[in-house]
Amino acid sequence: MEVKLEVVVGVIKSSITFIFLSIGLLAYAQNDSISVYKKKALESTEVDFLMGYYEQEGVHASVTGGIGNEDLHSTAPTVVIRIPLNDDDVLTVDAGLSAYTSASSSNGNPFNQTGASGSGDDYDVDNDKPMRKSGEGSPWVASSGASRKDVLTSISMSYVHASDDRNLYWSSNIAGSFEYDYQSFGFGGGFTQLWNEKNTEFSAKVLVYLDQWKPIIPTEFHEFEMYGNDFLIDDQSYFYEVSLSDSDGNAVADYLPSNFTSIDDVNRNSYSVSLEFSQILSKRLQFSFFVDYVLQRGWLANPLQRVYFEDRPNFYIGNFRSISNYESPSNTDVFHLADDIERLPRERAKFPFGVRVNYYLNEFMVLRSYFRKYSDNWGINSNTVHFEIPVKFNLKWKIKPSFRYYDQTAADYFAPYNKHFSTQKYYTSDYDLSAFSSLQLGGALVYTDVLSKYKLGKLSLKMISLRYQNYQRSDGLSAFSVSTGFSFVIE
């Protein structure tokens, strides 16, 4: 009996030992499996070099009140670096420049074909005295002062933290950008939650931009602001001893932009909430739904943009014989002095929502589509439709033809050149706020190197992209952009 009992106790002891060992092994195996399957949020540092060139032509320059030369050229080099700080955290640095020359903005001072201040420093408003007294400006001729060009410098940094199961991502970011007459500082944060075996995703993001103007105003208002009602007779003013005429070419001396008041609030703040919902619908089909709410407050008009009133007499400077030809591009030597700068409400609420649907047609083709509706409290409603069909030739090469249609209604405050009334509270002749539709056709040629066999020092090439887009707007604006991008990984 005692022997039997010892055997039973022995068996129980062995069983307990086995169970504990098993649990221990199981727990070890579980821990091991977690460490094995925890994929890094980003495997290695990635670097993208981008270069974009944009060119446009048009006949509705906003700086000269809705008519004039809109030629613009912009070159924008950018670098984006994504750095894995550890298994869970990724830091992204995005820095770029955008250098542009613009016929429209050059005509803040249209009278300086030989250099407004002698030094060409059009921005130094205190010294911004055109040397020539002939005043041979025209909205159709680009002026040569410094405001014809500027450089936008921008930098942003974002930090993303991924949870261990890779179902939750927290992010925060800061951004800054600087132009001569404008600067912006932004910050924000958000999260992304995945569930349903990573078939469903929800993101929320909040962003705040605190921007500030360093206002540059057109020459006639600058002189009026400096010398008051005597700005036509003060010997320090540009307009001293300069001949003005009315619409019939008769000499006059009673031009007074009395609607003009100085800009008292140089701030422009933007607050936005962005929500995104993504869902996989099948092995080949997925979509995203985006909705933003953006509230902008502060000086939302552009201080450099002129406005002309229909109910006020017209005053010209330059060759009076060209007045009858003023609205034609052949006018090169007469300029219409403005009645005021653009005035817009101090608040704007924007409400865009969009859907992106992607379908994997077959191993050669994917259909990418995007639709957006937009409305704001300035009376603008718009629709956007965008299709792109990437076509693969082989594992390395593909082309991506694309088509985009856009339309919008005009802002409540828009009217063309010389069609506003002085009794209005708000007015603009900026054709970006007019009613129009646009068509964009283009495509990209993409080279993908899956094995990264081409090296540049420590950089291994992953992808090259060359894009071209042609953009035609129904108001006559015509533009194209060419961009190229190189993606590398650092091994």
Partner 1 sequence: MIKELFTNLKILKLKKIRQILILLIVLVSSSSCVAVKEYNKVYLNDLDMELKTPLFERFETTFHIYREAAAGANGGKTGGGCGCN
Scan residues 242-301 and list those touching partner 1 (CB under 8 A).
270, 272, 274, 276-284, 286-296
From residue 295 to residue 334, the character string flagging contacts with partner 1 as x (rule: CB under 8 A) and all else as - is xx-----x--------------------------------
The residues near 135 (Cβ < 8 Å, ≥ 6 apart) are 111, 242, 317, 318, 335
Quote the DSSP letter at residue 147. Answer: G
Residue of 415, 444, 419, 255 lying closest to 344 (CA atoms)? 415
Instruction: Name which of 88 and 432 has its Cβ closer to partner 1.
Output: 432
Residue of 121, 181, 412, 449 that binds partner 1 (CB under 8 A): 181
Q: Given the complex with partner 1, which of 136 and 342 has the nearer CB atom?
A: 342
Distance CA 388, CA 403 (A): 6
SS3 call for 487:
strand
Output 191 or 287, the one with its CB closest to partner 1.
Answer: 287
What is the smallest separation between the CB atom of 433 and partner 1, expressed in angstroms? Answer: 6
DSSP three-state, residue 82: strand
Q: Is 448 in the site for partner 1 (CB under 8 A)?
A: yes
What tokens were used for 235? 């010997």
Minimum CB separation of residue 88 from partner 1 in Å reads 20
Q: How far is the CB of 273 from partner 1 (least distance, A)?
A: 9
Residue 223 binds partner 1 (CB under 8 A): no
From the CB of 421, what's the least distance to partner 1, in Å?
22
Instruction: Name the amino acid, one letter, at 140.
Output: W
Rounded alpha-carbon distances, angstroms, from residue 7 to 2, 11, 15, 16, 374: 9, 6, 12, 14, 81
Within 5-44, which residues bind partner 1 (CB under 8 A)?
A: none
Residues near 45 by Cβ (< 8 Å), separated by ≥ 6? 81, 82, 83, 84, 489, 490
In sequence order, what are the residues at sequence separation of 6 or more whose Cβ sits closer than 8 angstroms to the Cβ of residue 87?
Answer: 38, 40, 41
For partner 1, the binding residues in 161-180 under the rule CB under 8 A are 175, 177, 179
Footprint on residues 336-395 left by partner 1 (CB under 8 A): 347, 349-354, 356, 358, 360, 366, 368, 370, 372, 374-378, 380, 382, 384, 390
Closest CA to 300 of 274, 266, 273, 271: 266
Q: x/- contact string, 415-434, with partner 1 (CB under 8 A)?
A: -----------------xx-
Contacts with partner 1 by CB under 8 A: the residue count is 96
CA 461 to CA 487: how far, in whole Å?
Answer: 6
Residue 52 is a binding residue for partner 1 (CB under 8 A): yes
Q: What is the DSSP letter of 123?
A: T
Q: State which residue, 132 or 368, has the beta carbon closest to partner 1.
A: 368
Contacting partner 1 within 188-217 (CB under 8 A): 195-200, 207, 209, 211, 213
Interacting positions 90-109 with partner 1 (CB under 8 A): 98
